Amino acid sequence: MPTPARVYQLKITLKDSTPPIWRRVLVPENVTLFELHEIIQRVMGWQDYHLHQFTIAGQLYGNPEDDEFGDLNIENEKRYRLNQFGFREKSKFSYEYDFGDSWEHTLLVEKILPAEKGGRYPVCTAGKRACPPEDCGGICGYEEFLETIANPEDEEHDETLEWVGGDFDPEEFDLDEVNAALQAIKPARGRRKAQMEPALEGKSDDFMSSADEQEKIEDLVKWVQSLSREQVAGFENLPLRRDVITFLDYLSNNRVLGTQSTGNLPLKAVHEISARFTHPPKLEETVGEHVYKVRSEDDVRSLLFVHQLAFQSRLVTGGQAKTWKTTDEGQQFPLLPPPVQVFFLLVHWWVQIDWTIAFPVSGLANGLPGRFKPEALASLRGLSVGESMPFEIFADRLIEQSGLTWPSKDQTNAHSTMQFVVKRTVIDIMETFGVLECEYVTDRSRGYELTRLVSICLTLNGKGLLGLV
């Protein structure tokens, strides 16, 4: 498995075993529960002959196909990663193997550690005692098994030893052998496509069907696999991605009724969601003796953008006097790898969303020119990674190439207004997506402070994203 940012130190203990049978293992933070199942099988010494399931906060995770009657509400373990459960040190959850013998394991999160540079994970660091033989009857059956093989006078002694293969040492534990078994696990890199495809199910009627869906998935997988650790961290830490997940999480755990007039979020939700954003926006400001407070969601630009993006991407549903809630796609979105999450949002922004929401001024009542989006994409792709371009040069080229005009009789400020349109609909949004880095200066020439955009620069992550749009 590739080196992650963090690793979880887990102590896996076979429940009710006396003396305890346990293993200590370091696993990548982004390991799926299915991969963790494979790890447990190898470090404990099981043969994976039987069914299994995890229980986390009362919810079952495993293979939904094992739920024959569909009454257990089993979540697909391949769609959940360890770092999505908010585990902290000392957190516990359970793993059960073989529902007949019911081998229950307690998994304790002992530590959450930074991964060592060049470290190879998963790795077992310690353990005690042998794994019980398969099909010996659970903990009680194992105790009887040990009593039988320890007593040569027992009438079943010889038969039991023959059944187990000739001999059995309950104190045996070979760390090197366990780690050799771990190395035999197929690398996660080779499974990434298989993990991503279920998460992308249901997207074929969105951006994935505009061309050959399989080819799109292949390109996406190759791109994700090519990313460096630093690039992946950039996607993980992107405020927009984190804020969208915060938004989805809030709607999943709270009843939010859209206002009757506009369908906006009620003020209570506006305040609570905004407070959880990566960079919480100001909801009130004092100027002199006056205190200006946010009166509706429309006054909070960052929240409104996230809400519109989630709605137009079909991650949430709701409206006037209707409950805002996450869709099935919205519930699956947090399970996608962070680079895919950002790509998903960017494609929907580019293809499905009216960009004038970023510049809600009557001068764009008729929309942007039809050539504006493709010319914007071509102009952005024409930038070189790491090389700055003056904003005004970029904006003027896009204005000319797209045929953007400003419908006003007085054209005195039309040019600067169109540059501002480019800034709001293209530059600001691409900066939010991490596609661009922007340089600003403080201008005091007019007697007051004005922050002015000077130049833009394409990021490495931005180049990859634009190449896939």
Q: What's the gap between Cα 311 and its chain centre? A: 18
- Looking at 150, 185, 220, the residue that finishes a domain is 185
For a pLDDT cut of 90, what percent of the chain falls above it? 62
- Tell me whether residue 64 is in a domain: yes
- Tell me whether residue 140 is in a domain: no
Contact 78, 336 (CB under 8 A): no
Residues 390 and 455 in one domain: yes
- Looking at 353, 387, 420, the residue that finishes a domain is 353
Residues 45 and 175 in one domain: yes
pLDDT digits (tens, 9 = 90+) for 384-437: 999 999 999 999 999 999 999 887 777 778 898 999 999 999 999 999 999 999
Q: pTM of this prediction? A: 0.57
- Looking at 353, 386, 412, the residue that finishes a domain is 353
The strands making up 123-128's β-sheet, listed across from edge to edge, are: 75-76, 59-62, 52-56, 92-97, 103-114, 6-14, 22-28, 123-128
d(CA 213, CA 210): 8
- Tell me whether residue 270 is in a domain: yes
Rg (alpha carbons) of the chain, rounded to whole number = 28
What is the rounded average pLDDT of the residues 357-366?
Answer: 71
CA atoms within 13 A on the CB side of 333: 28
What is the rounded average pLDDT of the residues 196-222?
Answer: 55
- Tell me whether residue 451 is in a domain: yes
d(CA 469, CA 467): 6
Average pLDDT, the chain: 87
Residue 291 has pLDDT above 90, yes or no: no
- Tell me whether residue 138 is in a domain: no
Q: What is the CATH classification number for the domain harbouring 382?
A: 1.10.10
- Tell me whether residue 139 is in a domain: no
Contact 271, 281 (CB under 8 A): no
Residues 345 and 383 in one domain: no
Q: Dump the DSSP string for 102-129.
A: TEEEEEEEEEEEEPPTT--SSEEEEEES
Residues 323 and 438 in one domain: no
What is the rounded average pLDDT of the residues 328-356?
Answer: 90
As given in the structure block, the two tokens for residue 236 are: 């993980």
Position with higher pLDDT, 215 vs 460: 460
Residues 348 and 431 in one domain: no
Contact 467, 381 (CB under 8 A): yes
Residues 403 and 301 in one domain: no
- Tell me whether residue 205 is in a domain: no
Residues 250 and 288 in one domain: yes
Pick the range with the lowest mean pLDDT from 1-5, 43-47, 134-138, 454-458. 1-5
Residues 264 and 364 in one domain: no
Q: What is the CATH classification number for the domain harbouring 87?
A: 3.10.290.30
Residue numbers of the domain that contains 64: 6-130+169-185
Residues 276 and 240 in one domain: yes
d(CA 61, CA 79): 10
CA nearest 220: which of 191, 196, 201, 236? 196
Residues 41 and 178 in one domain: yes
CA nearest 56: which of 73, 38, 43, 39? 73
Total structural domains in the chain?
3
As given in the structure block, the two tokens for residue 439 are: 């340089």
Residues 175 and 42 in one domain: yes
H/E run at residue 55: strand 52-56
Which residues in 288-339 belong to E strands, given as ranges?
290-293, 316-319, 322-326
d(CA 303, CA 445): 32
| Cβ atoms < 10 Å from Cβ of 54 | 23
End-to-end CA distance of the chain: 28
Q: At what angle do helices 157-164 and 138-150 cross, to 10 degrees?
A: 120
Residues 101 and 73 in one domain: yes
- Tell me whether residue 76 is in a domain: yes
Residue with tokens 């790898």: 337
